[in-house]
Amino acid sequence: MSGRVLVALTGASGAVYGVECVRRLAAEGVALDVIVSDAARRVLAIEHDLGPDPREWVPASKHELLTHDVGDIAAAPASGSRAPRAMLVVPCSMGTAARIAAGLSSNLIERAADVVLKQRRPLVVVPRETPLSAIHLRNLLTLAELGVAVVPAMPAFYTQPTSVQDMVAFVVDRALAMTGLELPLRARWQPPGQATP
């Protein structure tokens, strides 16, 4: 098992969650592999006016970030001998969720998810869809039954967010917490009347 973490962005709306995930992990010094699907590239351009190269999303610093083409089935994440320590699909389109649940491997994101599952590594999906059909719910249930952490992009309001960035950070923190990485949560529930620990 490598010490690397794999982040995959798919074509669901909410690419900002994937970008923030990459930024947060890079800031923590985590070695990263990043895959951006063709549909995610379009979403990035439409929603955020960002280019598809994740190396441009993080400030110049000492971060180890490798990118892989979604069509490159021979890339390192496609092999069980190079399985990452954890994988996040964020955002996860319902089509991607369905194909992972069915065990399909038609691109590098799906193959990498298949590898992570068979190697029993943490796999986290962050679906960003509403409303959910019965098909969506069945596929997400299948993933959960396989041990996948399903972390819907549902921000909390008990943290009293003051910006979209606050809401995005909350979801990303919850997704990262499911990987087993020991990263500090930026916002925790604070019972009324109790001092912050």
Is CATH 3.40.50.1950 the right assignment for the domain spanning 5-177?
Answer: yes
* pLDDT value at residue 55: 85
For residue 147, what pLDDT band results from cuts at 50, 70 and 90? very high
* Phi, psi of 131, rounded to the nearest 5 degrees: -70, 170
pLDDT in tens, 105-137: 999 999 999 999 999 999 999 999 999 999 999
Each domain of the chain, given as residue ranges in start order, spans 5-177
* pLDDT value at residue 1: 43
pLDDT in tens, 170-196: 999 999 999 999 887 776 666 777 765
Range in 97-101, 151-155, 181-185 the model is least confident about: 181-185
H-state helical runs in the chain: 15-27, 38-43, 94-101, 108-118, 134-145, 164-177
Percent of the chain with pLDDT over 90: 79
Percent of the chain with pLDDT over 70: 93
Between 192 and 64, residue with greater pLDDT: 64
The yes-or-no verdict on residue 150 having pLDDT over 90 is yes
Range in 56-70, 90-104, 125-139, 148-162 the model is least confident about: 56-70
118's CB contacts (< 8 A; 6+ apart) are 80
